Structure 1
Amino acid sequence: MLLLASFAASAQRVEGTRAAAQGVYSAEVEVNTQGAGERDTAFARALAQVLGKLSGDRNAASQPGMAQELRQAERYVEGFDYRQDEGVSASGAPSFDTMLVVRFDQDKVDSLAAAMGLAVWPQPRPKPVLWLAIDDGSGPRLVGLSKAAAASSTLDRAKKRGYRLGLPNGSAAEQAVVGAIWRGDTAAVARASRRYSPPMQLIGKLYRNDGGWKADWIFVDNGRVLSRWSEEGTNARQVMATGADGAADALMKRYAKRSEAGPPGTYRVAFTGLDSADDYVRLSGYLQQLAVVRGITPLSATPQSVEFNLDLVSGLSGLARMVAGDDVLAASALGSPLDGMDTAVDGQPDDVGERAPAVYRLR
């Protein structure tokens, strides 16, 4: 099959062995240099990748307040290294890409996700079987394990979304499943997939369409169709990769769970231990850089304390998680930070300014 052969040839690449992203809490991004300035920007892109893998949500890094944390992504970094990949350009000349491989501190990233109320896709995660048939004009054929390079864009995209896809062995009996794939017979494909675990199938057919390519996808979980979608484009690899995206979206919607963060809204919070104007400035600056804080409204001040109404992304519990490891604020014995206010059914606090505030002490 011409398309399968061309995919296999172009997918070959020599990679260095110094470093590679492993698991949900690591990522790799391409950089032009190994300078500190570009590295800081790359850390932000890498953290965005990790948040996407952790949640399964490709838009996780775009949630309100998350941009602030991305700008200080270095504080979540556990370690990093560089890898140089050697390949061949379209002209046939050698090409070299420098990849920054970043490992993030799992506890810190988990705390960030919890504080921001990010839905987390629990681990271990399933490895659905990719039943993909491709017709480049010479008839549809199944992409089996021996032709994995032909499906590399789909397999690689799945890894970037935080899970893995498997392929059938591609035996003669499995090649006969192409007809079922082409007509969308999910029950027949599920029967052919019984020897593999888990009972999840990503079923796709890729074919030429109006001068480009089209892929029709079905994602099945234990016999239940979770999603159907189609994608078109001029680049076959890009169209194939959409299968992994659609499967990730379906899995996240079904299995990702939000942490027990509080509801967003405005909360009254008191801060003690302020001995000078410098302490007030330090406290204000610190609160403004917290991702969970969307706004600050001063309420009252005494020589050693101040009260604010804080507009919080994930309530008082989110604030408590966010400040826990920073050694700037401590829960005061005068009042638990989680005793601040009742919340209404719509998630908004009641009686702002009337109930006792949550209390923190500036260290």
Structure 2
Amino acid sequence: MMIRLLFISLTLATALTAQPVCATPLYVGEVAIERQPGSAGDRLAALDQVLARLTGRFEGSLVRELGLGPEDLDELVLSQQLAERSVVTPSGESEEELRLEVEFDEPTINELLRRNQLPRWGRERSAVLLWMAIEDEAGARFVESPHLEYLVLEHARRVGLDVIRPLSDALDLAEVTLADVRGGFLGSAEASAQRYGASVIAMLDLRRRGDDDDAVLWNARWRWRVEGQDAGLDRSGEDVEALIRAGLQRLSSQLAGRYGVLDTDGAPTRWLIGVDGIVDEVQYAEVLRHLDNLSVVENVRVVSAVEREVVFEVLARGERIERYLTMGGLLVPRQGRTGNRLDFRLAR
């Protein structure tokens, strides 16, 4: 098997192309515009969106903080185009909105972040399974509003989160009840998260306060679980969209703080990654693709393959490589770090 695997490693190294972990193009900003072709201010707004998505910093403007202006756009912008997007109104109607889509040059943006000592959160973006409940004059129920669904997916795109909404079929509802979501009982959704391929569980409980004679006030209770650690955000306000945006931004900031890497000028670190439980070419290809996809990894090669264990040599930047290797649940740690050697087993 060792000879066979080593042969496959040579062919797959050139035949396999990395599949992005995040569905959102990280270096593309998209802003609504009132007229063609879009101004320098519109392009700078798109740049702000990209910089916030990569760093997890949503308070204030990084464009302003870094002193960037229209004169910097020629170096940063790779391409731009106009696009019409469907926007769902509060009434549930669909309207077309003109937007400017700007793609920025990845190496130049990364160098900008490195030069200003800002962390960069790359492609490693775990899918988020989001359960939502709402209580208003019609009572308490799971969210089925097209407008709210649109707001969630739109703001998830802006902050770079891959949000999955459950189908709420019989299997889902047998495991997760309305009371679970309203109470923020994240453990009830563990099984459904596995089915949907999500590593992060989130719940949002929206409750309307006030009557016809008073201003409508909404209470939003966000709860999420990232690698066994629970956190959340409680916020109130009149604007539901602002409450959704605030929760998704906070979750994105937490993930960026966990997985962001500060690029340095130093040489990458050499790691030996042992993976046990690989029994065929398909599993081998899956592990290789997983390692090669990580944005902190610069190079991967096979060192040895004996029976069910394959040892990879990985050149990577950053000191928290374990967090990246275990993302997605493909690899499970077998034991602690021994020098620069890490051992895992294949989860499936």
**Short-chain TM bin:** 0.5 to 0.7
Query: 1:169 is aligned with what amino acid?
Result: L
Query: 2:163 is aligned with what amino acid?
Result: L
Give the alignment partner of residue 159 of structure 1, picking from 154, 157, 160. Answer: 157
Long gaps (5+) in structure 1 = 1-20, 263-363
Alignment of 1:71-220 (within 5 A): 71-85=71-85, 97-143=97-143, 149-175=147-173, 176-210=176-210, 211-220=216-225
For each residue in 1:215-258, what CA deviation from the matched residue of structure 2 results, as whole angstroms up to 9, or x when unmatched?
10111013320x22111122223323332122112212222122
Greater gyration radius: 1
Preserved contact between residue 44 and residue 71 of structure 1 (Cα < 8 Å):
no
Between the aligned partners of 2:122 and 2:94, the Cα distance in structure 1 is 41
| Partner secondary structure for residue 137 of structure 2 | coil
Long gaps (5+) in structure 2 = 1-22, 211-215, 267-348
Preserved contact between residue 129 and residue 168 of structure 1 (Cα < 8 Å):
yes
For each residue in 1:184-205, what CA deviation from the matched residue of structure 2 results, as whole angstroms up to 9, or x when unmatched?
2222232443322233111111
Q: Tell me the residue number matched to 1:245.
A: 249
Aligned sequence identity (%)? 22
Query: 2:167 is aligned with what amino acid?
Result: N
Preserved contact between residue 202 and residue 247 of structure 1 (Cα < 8 Å):
no
Q: How high is the TM-score relative to the length of structure 1?
A: 0.57
Q: Tell me the residue number matched to 1:67.
A: 67
Query: 1:237 is aligned with what amino acid?
Result: E
Seen in structure 2, the aligned counterparts of structure 1 residues 28 and 199 have a Cα distance that, compared at 3 Å, is closer
Seen in structure 2, the aligned counterparts of structure 1 residues 111 and 70 have a Cα distance that, compared at 3 Å, is farther
Preserved contact between residue 119 and residue 258 of structure 1 (Cα < 8 Å):
yes
Alignment of 1:6-45 (within 5 A): 23-34=25-36, 39-45=39-45
Query: 1:167 is aligned with what amino acid?
Result: R
Q: Tell me the residue number matched to 2:237.
A: 233
Seen in structure 2, the aligned counterparts of structure 1 residues 53 and 153 have a Cα distance that, compared at 3 Å, is same
Between the aligned partners of 1:253 and 1:223, the Cα distance in structure 2 is 16
What is the CA distance between 1:87 and its match in structure 2? Answer: 6.6
Q: How high is the TM-score relative to the length of structure 2?
A: 0.60
Query: 2:164 is aligned with what amino acid?
Result: G
Corresponding pairs, count = 237
Seen in structure 2, the aligned counterparts of structure 1 residues 151 and 65 have a Cα distance that, compared at 3 Å, is closer
Between the aligned partners of 2:90 and 2:147, the Cα distance in structure 1 is 18
Between the aligned partners of 2:192 and 2:69, the Cα distance in structure 1 is 46
Preserved contact between residue 53 and residue 161 of structure 1 (Cα < 8 Å):
yes
Between the aligned partners of 2:31 and 2:261, the Cα distance in structure 1 is 27
Seen in structure 2, the aligned counterparts of structure 1 residues 173 and 134 have a Cα distance that, compared at 3 Å, is farther
Seen in structure 2, the aligned counterparts of structure 1 residues 212 and 61 have a Cα distance that, compared at 3 Å, is closer
What is the CA distance between 1:88 and its match in structure 2? Answer: 9.0
Seen in structure 2, the aligned counterparts of structure 1 residues 71 and 234 have a Cα distance that, compared at 3 Å, is farther
| Partner secondary structure for residue 67 of structure 2 | helix
| Partner secondary structure for residue 27 of structure 1 | strand
Preserved contact between residue 177 and residue 192 of structure 1 (Cα < 8 Å):
no
